[in-house]
Amino acid sequence: MKSTFFSKLVNNPFQDPILYVRFRREKDAVMFDCGDVYGLSVREIQKISDIFVTHMHVDHFIGFDNVLRCLLNREAPLHIYGPRGIINAVAHKLKGYTWNLIKEYPLKIEVCEVHKDVILRGSFYATEGFNKIDGPVTAFDKIIMIKEGLTVEADVFDHGIEVLGFSLHEDTQININKALLLERGLTPGAWLNELKAAIRNDIKDLRLRVDGHYYHIEELCGLAMITRGQKIAYITDISPSEANIKKAIGLAAGADTLYIEAFFLAEDVERAHKRNHLTTAHTGHIARCANVINVEITHVSPKYITMYERIKLEVKEGYPPCGSLRAAPSMS
Ligand SMILES: [Zn+2]
Ligand SMILES: [Zn+2]
């Protein structure tokens, strides 16, 4: 079964980390982090509906201006999710320009600022000169976006400042086996949606009317092909504390692909603690304990630019082994 989205890292691991995710059906895209976006075409940027910002260090947020410029004339709003301070960061970015000529422009920017237990909201409309409009405050309990069969979850990590890590997963996909439907001589109709809904909600006792006859759901379940949805996680710029590592394992659990930093070599662990980043060993450990299938390294200190093979090898070896049943994750 085809996944409803595909994801790609825009830059190499020594450049600013950006993950671009495009949806097949909706033809729009989301982006994780907003550093140097020159690797994206204007067309790709114009598809972006949501940006998930881990934090506002310059290598994760400097691309905001380029994105803004590409979207100014767009009807569809831009949603930005980020950690404590993101609303002010966006407000200050917008205040850095003069906006007397954009009152006719349609762009609306909706910002969600995720704290440990609440989400604050701020809106910025071109028609209002991008002045901040305060929105409602709601409780935060991991999920920050649900749309078109996709869920984005976040968690708050420590990096000397609060940063967000994210996961994105598809709902379980339920498709009907058309050949089998034909073979059994059943006419497709609204009952198929009822069948899918019943399977999704685990309803066991239901009768459905098909072609004038009543069938128990058990007689129809075989028509459905059930596929687990794809999951990815994006985690970068977190200090190697026990609490952070535990959260990272939870957020990435069972992911098909984990996009994650491996900022320092394992031997530079002291520096990693001082600079609030992971080493290769921490990264390998998280990937192994989260039982992920693939690991993609997003962010490595430029001082190791000639040592990427060693970085990859150390992540693959993982440290320390923690008894996961799955073999070491595959790497690209
Ligand atoms: Zn960074
Ligand atoms: Zn950072």
Q: Which tens digit of pLDDT belongs to each residue from 155-180?
A: 999 999 999 999 999 988 888 898 88
Is the same domain home to 155 and 282? no
Is the same domain home to 12 and 128? yes
Whole-model pTM: value is: 0.87
Whole-number Å distance between alpha carbons of 218 and 284 = 44
Please report whether residue 29 resides in a domain: yes
- Boundary-marking domain end, from 146, 170, 194: 170
- Cα 159 to averaged position of ligand 1 atoms, centre (Å): 10
Is the same domain home to 85 and 5? yes
According to DSSP, the residues that pair with 260 across neighbouring strands are 235, 297
Strand arrangement of the beta sheet that strand 162-170 belongs to:
143-147, 150-158, 162-170, 231-235, 257-260, 294-297, 330-331
Helix (H, G, I), strand (E, B) or coil at 221: helix
Please report whether residue 233 resides in a domain: no
> Region 112-124: what's the mean pLDDT?
98
- Cα 137 to averaged position of ligand 2 atoms, centre (Å): 26
Is the same domain home to 138 and 89? yes
233: left (phi over 0), alpha (psi -120 to 50) or beta: beta
Is the same domain home to 163 and 17? yes
- Cα 75 to averaged position of ligand 1 atoms, centre (Å): 32
Is the same domain home to 161 and 182? no
Please report whether residue 74 resides in a domain: yes
Mean pLDDT check: name the lowest of 73-82, 200-209, 275-284: 200-209
Nearest residue to 21 via CA among 43, 42, 38, 44: 44
Nearest residue to 108 via CA among 139, 86, 130, 141: 130
Please report whether residue 101 resides in a domain: yes
According to DSSP, the residues that pair with 169 across neighbouring strands are 151, 231
| Domain count within the chain | 3
Please report whether residue 291 resides in a domain: yes
- Cα 299 to averaged position of ligand 1 atoms, centre (Å): 7
Please report whether residue 232 resides in a domain: no
- Cα 54 to averaged position of ligand 2 atoms, centre (Å): 8
Confidence (pLDDT) at 2: 66
Q: Which two tokens stand for residue 89?
A: 């960061």
Give the confidence band of 103 by pLDDT, cuts at 50, 70, 90. confident
Ligand nearest to the CA of 60: 1
- Cα 265 to averaged position of ligand 1 atoms, centre (Å): 16
Please report whether residue 65 resides in a domain: yes
Is the same domain home to 26 and 65? yes
Q: Which two tokens stand for residue 220?
A: 């129809």
CATH of the domain at 266: 3.60.15.10
Is the same domain home to 255 and 209? no
> Region 318-327: what's the mean pLDDT?
45
Is the same domain home to 244 and 105? no
Q: Report whether pLDDT(325) > 50.
A: no
- Cα 110 to averaged position of ligand 1 atoms, centre (Å): 24
Neighbours of 35 (CB within 10 A): 23
Is the same domain home to 216 and 294? no
331 or 158: which leads in pLDDT: 158
Length of the chain: 332
Confidence (pLDDT) at 3: 75
DSSP string, 166-188: EEEEEPPEEEE-HHHHHHTTPPP
- Cα 69 to averaged position of ligand 2 atoms, centre (Å): 24
DSSP 8-class letter at 327: P
Is the same domain home to 203 and 308? no
Please report whether residue 36 resides in a domain: yes
Confidence (pLDDT) at 57: 98
Q: Which two tokens stand for residue 328?
A: 């070491």
Domain span including residue 221: 173-227
- Boundary-marking domain end, from 170, 190, 205: 170
Is the same domain home to 313 and 186? no
